[in-house]
Amino acid sequence: MAVKAILIDSGTGIELHNEGYYQEGEEGRVLLIQTIPKEYGYFKTYAYTVQGTFEQVSPKGAGSLELTDMIVTFEKKNTAIVTINFHDGTNTAQLFQAPLTDSNVNMSCNFVGRWKGWASAHIDVIISGADAIGTVSIGYMRHNEKHSLAYSDWNSRR
């Protein structure tokens, strides 16, 4: 005899989400589980063609950003360099740098761990040396000020 079982959140009394499925002639239900970044994450993609410093992703207020993914593609360009940093106007933590002189760049990174910046730090993309054609896609989550560290605290924990 089959028994219908459901999971209820004890704090809210709400049933946890499940879905019906049909696989190889069998029907059933499966509990859906998702990570916080998959539920609350965002992404921004920009195409670049000229030199400069570009603020691609910013936290809200004095909050912070946690990176989930990064995709970087640039064409080969003599003397050009692409750099991606956490930056707050004073402090900088470099995430990625590639010279474009010898080769194009095709890089994809799914961050596993806690790639989280400090309070008020945004993501800068810097194209230097020469104009370069490419795209940077950043997957991220925003954290509020309460859950964000000042740079000195953040840096001492690394």
DSSP conformation class of 63: -
The letter for the amino acid at 89 is G
Confidence at 9, pLDDT banded by 50, 70, 90 = confident
Give the C-alpha separation, 22 to 38, whole Å: 24
Supply 31's token pair.
Answer: 């509990």
Instruction: Report the pLDDT value the prediction gives residue 79, as an integer from 0 to 100.
Output: 96
| CB 55, CB 124: distance < 8 Å | yes
* 5 vs 145 pLDDT, higher one: 145
Instruction: Report the pLDDT value the prediction gives residue 2, as an integer from 0 to 100.
Output: 58
Q: Which of 21-30, 97-106, 126-135 has the lowest mean pLDDT?
A: 21-30
DSSP conformation class of 40: H
pTM for the whole structure: 0.82
Residues 6+ apart with CB under 8 A from 145: 61, 62, 63, 119
Element (H, E) at 44: strand 42-48
Instruction: Report the pLDDT value the prediction gives residue 3, as an integer from 0 to 100.
Output: 62
Give the C-alpha separation, 75 to 80, whole Å: 10
**Fold observed for domain 36-156:** Jelly Rolls (2.60.120)
The letter for the amino acid at 132 is A
Average of pLDDT values for 26-42? 83
pLDDT tens string 60-97: 999 999 999 999 999 999 999 999 999 999 999 999 99
